Chain A
Amino acid sequence: MFPRKLTFLIVAALSFCIVFTPLAPVALAQKKKAPVEATPPPLKEDFKFGDVDLEVLEQADLLDVRLERDGLVLADESANAYVRRIGRSLIPQGLELERVSWRFRILRDPQPNAFALPNGSIYVTTGLMTLIDNESQLAAIIAHELTHVMRRHTYVHNRSNRKKFMTMNVMAAVGAYAPGGIVGAVIMVVTTVAPFIMIATIYGYSRDLEREADLKGIDMMISAEYPPEEMVNVMKLLDKDFEGENIRLFYNDHPSLDERIKYLSGYLGARADKVTPQMELHRERTAYFQNVEPVMRHDLQLAINAGRARSALYLAQRLVDFHADSENLFWLAESYRTLGPRAPQLTEKELTNSAKKDAAKKSLKRTAEEEERELLATPAGKDNWQRHQQMAEDLYRRALNAENPAPVVHRGLGMLYEKLERRTDAAAEYEKYLELSPSATDRARIQRRIETLKEKLK
């Protein structure tokens, strides 16, 4: 049993922590009530670098090197230059930020995402660039990320987290030496519950920063003469869930998309003086697609590799609607071929949170091939498979009949015929592909397939 005086001290210390640190639920509630219009200035001018911040900066620089070294950055100079131009146009003229060197890069990742490192590196994924409709939406994303850097959000967040972790550890220590009796039980309860409150405040803090980045992003778009309502439209696009993977968790570092759309619309209502005419947006969309078409094709390959066939199908269809050339038709055909027995869209039931959780658990238990086999054993799966293979074949044929047919179309047809067990046709298509693309990087793979097919034909 602890002496009475010590017990009193422990309880007093705990009460102090709970009342005077930001983990108090009261503080949380107050944060949420902050008025939307009260946005801070674009820069955090009073920010002074400390040792902890310099450590974070060093990690960020190393991360840049790692992403580049690991082949995750898209080495497409014209696409990177395009993103760079948009980024530069958003930065206020003459702005010099201590220890920030602006870099805008495209990350080879089919998941729609973007992030900023505190050293000024802004990354936008190929998945995001393929999903959005126009340059203004890309500007909206970049403006949001620029705000994170300009307002030093990473450092602010890191400093705040460190304080909270420290409090959490002190509480754990106090909890471990809690006395018995009612006081001990109270301390145990407080020290057990506190980490949860702490985690909530950590993520709550992050949500506030995200909100700030959204609102400051709108201001930056207006300054750079981009239609600010595209910030809301890009949120709506991000709400699309083709693969059923956006699972809502209790803790989330971003406000919900509904909430974001709501407060952005509210903010915009007071500031936007015009809504861009449809025709202007359409022109912008065409220009955007022309600029990023190679990125979109690259992303389709990544999406197919990652088993994101439904996303690939949606994105490839958009690409074909824009420009039905041989290569784009090929990507649509590839999407149908890899979709196989899966339905092209998830049903409403499959898009519920519990269904998504179940699907995530199930996907851990089986490989893509096993999933395909299971689906093929069902009448709906068989039906889908036949329809999609037929669609794929028709599209490959269209791609071959288009102007300047791409050699890869033969490879796609070869793979389709191989699956359909039309071995002679498959081998012929593969040979045609290698004849037209003698220096293809997948030559060894296709050569092996031809050999295997010929062995089976003997």
Chain B
Amino acid sequence: MSARSIVLVLLLIVSGSQQVHAQFIHPKIKSKETTIRTIVVLPAKVNVVRDSMKGPEGMVAESDELSMRVEKMVAEVLSQQKHVTTVPTTAAAASADGDAQQKYNVADFQSKFDELLPKIMKKRSDVKKGRFSMGDEVLNLNLEKGTDAVVFIRGQGKKLTSGKTAMRWLVGGVVPAFLQLQIGIVDARNGEVLLYTDPHFTGDPTTAVDRLRKALQNGFKKLP
């Protein structure tokens, strides 16, 4: 086997494997002062693009489908692994029915998370110091009594066309298909960021269901 083939095989193994990613947990969770038993998962915002030889192409429908899949799978993984129950939020239900004010409340709170997220990502380890909070506006979501936490999901992914995949192997320098998630769990009573995890995997984000599950399982491993 030539050196080039060995490198190729190693690359294949690395790109195909799932990776465990960092999880940062608030001291209140570690000390069990706060426990997460009941959650509300807010609509996930996961965007994927198709990378072709002619540039990136939007995949709005696939992104929406993937967002729903991730949302469901987060609830599933937390339920199976950590016995956490997911409840629908009255605000989320209202947003489906078209109640404008509740819909705005959810949208505004999602925007607030989007503003905080870059700061969290800049120094993720500070979640362990309890540095990040979204404030008591979380109560504007009017969640069911007994809800412990609210889950925010963001993600970006890329799918390669066959032309781009061929170019990747022939030329190199092309980032492989991937999905990168950012998940924040926020205290439903005071808005403190209780957990931040960023699971990711390489592979087609629209079809790699098992890899997604595995990445999420690894992503919540440290949550008590």
Chain A contacts to B: CB under 8 angstroms: 55-56, 58-59, 62-63, 66, 70-72, 75, 108, 161-166, 169, 172-173, 176-177, 302, 305-307, 364-367, 369, 441-442, 444-445, 448-449
CB distance from A229 to the nearest CB of B (A): 36
Residues of chain B within 8 A of A56, CB atoms compared: 58
What are 6 A-B pairs at a CB distance below 8 A? A71-B103, A108-B104, A169-B167, A172-B171, A173-B170, A445-B137
Q: Are B136 and A364 in contact (CB under 8 A)?
A: no
Q: Are A367 and B132 in contact (CB under 8 A)?
A: yes
Q: Of the candidates A162, A173, A441, which one forms a contact with B102 in the assembled complex, judged by CB atoms under 8 Å apart?
A: A441
Q: Are A172 and B173 in contact (CB under 8 A)?
A: yes
Q: Are B122 and A365 in contact (CB under 8 A)?
A: yes
Residue of B nearest to A369 (CB): B133
Instruction: State A48–B61 Cα separation when bound (angstroms).
Output: 25
Within 8 A of A (CB), among B98-128: 100-108, 110-112, 115-116, 118-119, 122-123
Task: Decide if B9 is an interface residue (CB 8 Å cutoff).
Answer: no
Residues of chain B within 8 A of A71, CB atoms compared: 95, 100, 103-104, 106-108
Instruction: State A407–B115 Cα separation when bound (angstroms).
Output: 29
CB distance from B74 to the nearest CB of A (A): 19
CB distance from B52 to the nearest CB of A (A): 8
CB distance from B128 to the nearest CB of A (A): 16
Given contacts A71-B106, A444-B139, could you give 7 more A-B pairs where the C-beta distance is less than 8 Å?
A62-B60, A70-B107, A71-B103, A163-B54, A306-B111, A364-B119, A442-B140
Interface residues on B, range: 35 or more
Residue of A nearest to B137 (CB): A445
Task: Decide if B38 is an interface residue (CB 8 Å cutoff).
Answer: no
Task: Decide if B14 is an interface residue (CB 8 Å cutoff).
Answer: no
Q: Are B105 and A441 in contact (CB under 8 A)?
A: yes
Q: Are B100 and A75 in contact (CB under 8 A)?
A: yes
Q: Are B61 and A165 in contact (CB under 8 A)?
A: no
Instruction: State A164–B55 Cα separation when bound (angstroms).
Output: 8
Residue of A nearest to B172 (CB): A176
Q: Of the candidates B60, B103, B110, B116, which one forms a contact with A367 in the assembled complex, judged by CB atoms under 8 Å apart?
A: B116
Residues of chain A within 8 A of B222, CB atoms compared: none
Q: Are A441 and B140 in contact (CB under 8 A)?
A: yes
Instruction: State A177–B111 Cα separation when bound (angstroms).
Output: 46
Residues of chain B within 8 A of A63, CB atoms compared: 60
Q: Are B140 and A70 in contact (CB under 8 A)?
A: no
Task: Decide if B43 is an interface residue (CB 8 Å cutoff).
Answer: yes
Q: Are A445 and B106 in contact (CB under 8 A)?
A: no
Residues of chain B within 8 A of A55, CB atoms compared: 57
Q: Are A66 and B60 in contact (CB under 8 A)?
A: yes
Residue of B nearest to A165 (CB): B55
Q: Which 6 A-B pairs have CB atoms at the shortest separation, nearest pair first?
A: A71-B107, A165-B55, A445-B139, A62-B60, A71-B103, A162-B54
Q: Are B140 and A445 in contact (CB under 8 A)?
A: yes
Q: A169-B53, A364-B122 are in contact. Are A445 and B107 (CB under 8 A)?
A: no
Task: Decide if B28 is an interface residue (CB 8 Å cutoff).
Answer: no
| Chain B 71-104 interface mask (CB, 8 Å, partner A; 1/0) | 0000000000000000000000001000011111
Instruction: Give the interface SS of chain B, mostly helix, strand, loop or mixed.
Output: helix
Task: Decide if B64 is an interface residue (CB 8 Å cutoff).
Answer: yes
Q: Which of B60, B100, B132, B133 counts the most chain A CB atoms within 10 A?
A: B60
Task: Decide if B129 is an interface residue (CB 8 Å cutoff).
Answer: no
Task: Decide if B18 is an interface residue (CB 8 Å cutoff).
Answer: no
Instruction: State A70–B111 Cα separation when bound (angstroms).
Output: 11
Instruction: State A201–B57 Cα separation when bound (angstroms).
Output: 19
| Chain B 197-217 interface mask (CB, 8 Å, partner A; 1/0) | 000000000000000000000
Task: Decide if B30 is an interface residue (CB 8 Å cutoff).
Answer: no
Instruction: State A165–B163 Cα separation when bound (angstroms).
Output: 13
Q: Are A70 and B43 in contact (CB under 8 A)?
A: yes
Q: Are B64 and A166 in contact (CB under 8 A)?
A: no
Within 8 A of A (CB), among B24-58: 43, 53-55, 57-58
Q: Are A108 and B107 in contact (CB under 8 A)?
A: yes
Residues of chain A within 8 A of B111, CB atoms compared: 305-306
Q: Are B108 and A165 in contact (CB under 8 A)?
A: no
Q: Are A444 and B171 in contact (CB under 8 A)?
A: no
Residue of A nearest to B141 (CB): A444
Q: Are B53 and A166 in contact (CB under 8 A)?
A: yes
Instruction: State A448–B83 Cα separation when bound (angstroms).
Output: 28
Instruction: State A55–B136 Cα separation when bound (angstroms).
Output: 43
Q: Of the candidates A62, A108, A162, A367, which one forms a contact with B64 in the assembled complex, judged by CB atoms under 8 Å apart?
A: A62
Residues of chain A within 8 A of B60, CB atoms compared: 59, 62-63, 66
Q: Of the candidates B136, B173, B189, which one forms a contact with A449 in the assembled complex, judged by CB atoms under 8 Å apart?
A: B136
Q: Are A441 and B142 in contact (CB under 8 A)?
A: yes
Instruction: State A163–B110 Cα separation when bound (angstroms).
Output: 37
Q: Are B119 and A444 in contact (CB under 8 A)?
A: no
Residues of chain B within 8 A of A162, CB atoms compared: 54-55
Q: Are A448 and B104 in contact (CB under 8 A)?
A: no
Residues of chain A within 8 A of B102, CB atoms compared: 441
Residues of chain B within 8 A of A72, CB atoms compared: 107
CB distance from B61 to the nearest CB of A (A): 6
Residue of B nearest to A72 (CB): B107
Q: Are A166 and B54 in contact (CB under 8 A)?
A: yes
Residues of chain B within 8 A of A444, CB atoms compared: 139-140, 142
Residue of B nearest to A366 (CB): B119
Residues of chain A within 8 A of B171, CB atoms compared: 172-173, 176-177
Instruction: State A431–B140 Cα separation when bound (angstroms).
Output: 17
CB distance from B24 to the nearest CB of A (A): 16
Q: Are B115 and A448 in contact (CB under 8 A)?
A: no
Instruction: State A146–B36 Cα separation when bound (angstroms).
Output: 50
Q: Are A66 and B132 in contact (CB under 8 A)?
A: no
CB distance from A109 to the nearest CB of B (A): 9
Q: Are B136 and A448 in contact (CB under 8 A)?
A: yes
Q: Are B119 and A448 in contact (CB under 8 A)?
A: no
Instruction: State A177–B172 Cα separation when bound (angstroms).
Output: 11
Residues of chain B within 8 A of A59, CB atoms compared: 58, 60
Instruction: State A367–B102 Cα separation when bound (angstroms).
Output: 26
Instruction: State A138–B58 Cα separation when bound (angstroms).
Output: 30
Q: Are B54 and A165 in contact (CB under 8 A)?
A: yes
Residue of B nearest to A161 (CB): B55
Instruction: State A82–B114 Cα separation when bound (angstroms).
Output: 31
Instruction: State A70–B172 Cα separation when bound (angstroms).
Output: 38
Within 8 A of A (CB), among B162-211: 164, 167, 170-173, 189
